[in-house]
Amino acid sequence: MIYAYDITTVANTTQSSPKRTTLKVTKGLVYQVEVEFPPGPLGYCHVSIHDGGYQIWPSNSEFDFHGDNGYITFPDTYLKLVAPFEFTAVTWNEDDTWPHTIHIRLGMVSDEVFMARFLPSLSFDKMLAVLDEAQKRQEEQREAVIANPLPWKGVE
């Protein structure tokens, strides 16, 4: 499955008050991530993709993707095994005049047999154990975010 999203962010949308767009997906493995910047944004339109309270693309939270007339595309093996089955695209636009649209595509497989194709070093039994452990970790992270949704504000 390939999920595709077009996100338009209006001019003067700040990083401190960004647009948040829900990217609905299914349970499974993200094997490909693509972010397309059509001609026009000149690097003013930015995006990062999050799972719950954690930024996953790009992996380092102090950075984001931005560009002009180009693609950022890479393979990945990110397991999304715990509901809600969605990501959040966080965008902002430093352009003071024009809105800008970016395109996001996520390639996913949801069947364990197809997941094994992207995790060839693991036997099927080992892969199931890894998936089970990853699901437990994601559930713990989800519960931690629910318990303390705004850790940077000191809310507990």
In this prediction the pTM is 0.77
Q: pLDDT, tens digit, for every residue of 50-60? A: 999 899 999 99
Q: Does pLDDT of 45 surpass 90?
A: yes
Residue 106 three-state SS? strand
Q: What is the CATH architecture of 2-153?
A: Sandwich (2.60)
pLDDT given for residue 72 in this prediction: 98
Backbone angles phi, psi at 71, to 5 degrees: -120, 145
Residue 113: pLDDT band by 50, 70, 90 thresholds?
A: low
What is d(CA 148, CA 156) in angstroms, rounded to the nearest whole number?
5
pLDDT given for residue 124 in this prediction: 67
Q: pLDDT, tens digit, for every residue of 55-92? A: 999 999 999 999 999 999 999 999 998 899 999 999 99
pLDDT given for residue 36 in this prediction: 98
By the 8 A CB rule, do 107 and 1 touch? yes
**In whole angstroms, what separates CA 131 from the centre of its chain?**
19
